Structure formats: C-alpha cells, structure tokens
Amino acid sequence: MTATTERTLFDCRDTWAATITEVAQADPRVVAVVNDSIGSSKLGGFQKALPERTVNVGIAEQDMVGIAAGLANGGKIPFVSAAGCFLTARAMEQIKADVVYSQYNVKLIAQSPGVAYGDLGPTHHSIEDFAWMRTLPGLVVVAPADPAETEQVVRWAARHEGPVYVRVSRMGVPSVYPEGYEFVPGKAVTLRDGDDVTLIATGTTVVRALDAADVLAAAGVSARVLSMPTIKPLDDDAVLAAARETRGIVTIEEAMVTGLGGAVAEVLAENHPARLARLGFRDEFAITGSAEWLLDHHGMSAQGIATTASGLLA
C-alpha cells in the first residue's frame, strides 16, 4: 500500500470532461469523437449539452481517427476520446498517416492508460503508448499528474495548432502541484530539490516519486523530484542539469521503460553519460491485477523507488 491511500484522491476523467465541455461551449469548432465510450470517457454531460458536436462512431477505432482527421481538415478541433489501449494499438496507422503525417489539428485523448484497467489483463493495458507515440514526428505527448494539470493540458491542447496525445488516467491521484502552477509544454517541474539523486516521474507516478523522496530523506539521502508531464518534447535541459548536479537518475513511468526512460537515456547517452535506472515495465506483458498492485509489484512503490535509488548510488 502506498501513501496515496491516505490522501484525497481524484479521478482526472472528471476534470477532463468538465474542462472539454466548457472549452467546447466557448469554441464552436471543438468536437468530441468517441468509440462507443461516452460513459468511460465521462462525456455524458458533453453529449447532453452539445449533442450535435458528439460523434459516436461505435467500436471502430480506425474509423474514429480517420473521421477526426476529416473534421480537422474541415476546420474543426476534434478531441478523440477512447481507451488508450484501443486508441493506440488499433488505430496506429491512422494516427501515423491520417493525423500526424498530415499535421492535422487532432487531439488524441487516451483514457485509462497504462495499467488502469489492471484486472482486465494485458489486452486492456496500454503500456506501449509512450514508446510508440514519441517516435512520431511532430506529435506532442503529455501525461498530466493531477486534476489541475489535466485541466491546463486540455485547455492548452485546444489552443495548440497541431496533433497532441494526452493520457487521462482513471487511477485516483492526489493534487501534487503548488497553488498557481502553470503547465508549460516541454518543461519539467521541480517539485522537490536535492543533490544526491534525481527521481524523474510522469503522470500517475509523480506522487510515488514524492513519497519515495520522503523515504530516502529518512535514510539521509537528498532526492530531487522532477515531474515530466511532456514526454515529447522532453525537457533536455532539466535532464542534463540532473546528470551534472546529482549522482544518478531514476525514471518512473506507468509504461514500458522505453518511453520516458528511453527518452532520458537517449539524452544522457548523446550529451552527458550518467548513472541511470529505469522503473516501469520491461520486455513482458503486464500481468493481471489491480493497478496499484501492478505498480508496486514492478518496483514503483515508494519503498521500491527508494531502494532502486539507493542501489544506484551504492
């Protein structure tokens, strides 16, 4: 059990749904495109308020993305909302060719990504998406860490001209950012300073990194905690500063380690080699179990992260 169970937890889908409804009411170009996922995307309120701008294509993810590309070509701003596992794996060719290659103004909203559907098993896990999506030229890849950041990312995506991929988790998360925080694409956020080791986390793992920093502090280890909401473009400067100023880096992600961990490894290998440990899922399908248990099982509990960081320093 992690310390998150002792806090007030929020479902970021609630924030996403409220924000996109408000954004759409202010901008007639905004359209929601879904794959029979009104309920799981929490878009019932959107559909009720704006039925003429709710496009439900049924269980047809490839058509869903193709239709969104057509809407964007016609001047609309489509927000495609679907379970991350089906949005990416089933519609990868359409995302690549119809949206990203064409640089259409489509927003891809991956609902319940990572292992949020833990009990449904590997078919419903979406742990490959960071690795897949960050390879596509010109696609911004974002994983908000809490409700405040989710709201800001959705509003930013609506303003941004070009394709965006955003994770919106169903896992309960607490607020992690201070009052007045402002999301800036491509920028990491220092949530805790330290000079022994750096913990770089994204999305749902940010709170786990903060908890691990507390465990390390109790053992006399000073840990810097960086929240990296944007997997692409990555904040290279923050990564390189961590490499210069601390004795090692640990990346933590609810995804394959070739996502955030791979991106950080590339920056270090090309610019400033440093000690690096990557926590996430490796060359295996995540097994069946609750999301919290799966993250703990794969070393992403507060104690697991702290143990990895201590081993790296040793």
pLDDT at 286: 82
Residues in the chain: 314
Sheet with 276-281: strands ordered across: 189-192, 223-227, 197-201, 249-256, 276-281
Encoded amino acid at 43, one letter? L
DSSP assignment letter at 35: S
- Whose structure tokens read 């911004």? 140
pLDDT at 129: 98
pLDDT at 283: 84
Encoded amino acid at 41, one letter? S
Q: How far apart are CA 293 and CA 115, in angstroms?
A: 10
| Kind of pairing between the strands at 164-168 and 77-83 | unpaired
Largest CA distance in the chain: 60
Give the chain's residues under pLDDT 50: 1-5
pLDDT at 287: 87
Handedness of CA 171, 176, 182, 187 (dihedral sign): negative
pLDDT at 258: 98
Q: What is the CA radius of gyration of the chain?
A: 19
pLDDT at 284: 82
CB atoms within 10 A of CB 2: 18
Domains of the chain: 8-168 (3.40.50.970), 189-313 (3.40.50.920)
Q: Tell me how many degrees the CA angle 249-253-258 measures, rounded to the nearest 5.
A: 80
pLDDT at 113: 96
Q: Which H helix or E strand runs over 188?
A: none
**Following DSSP, what letter does each residue of 58-98 receive, concatenated?**
-S-HHHHHHHHHHHHHTT-EEEEEEEHHHHHHHSHHHIIII
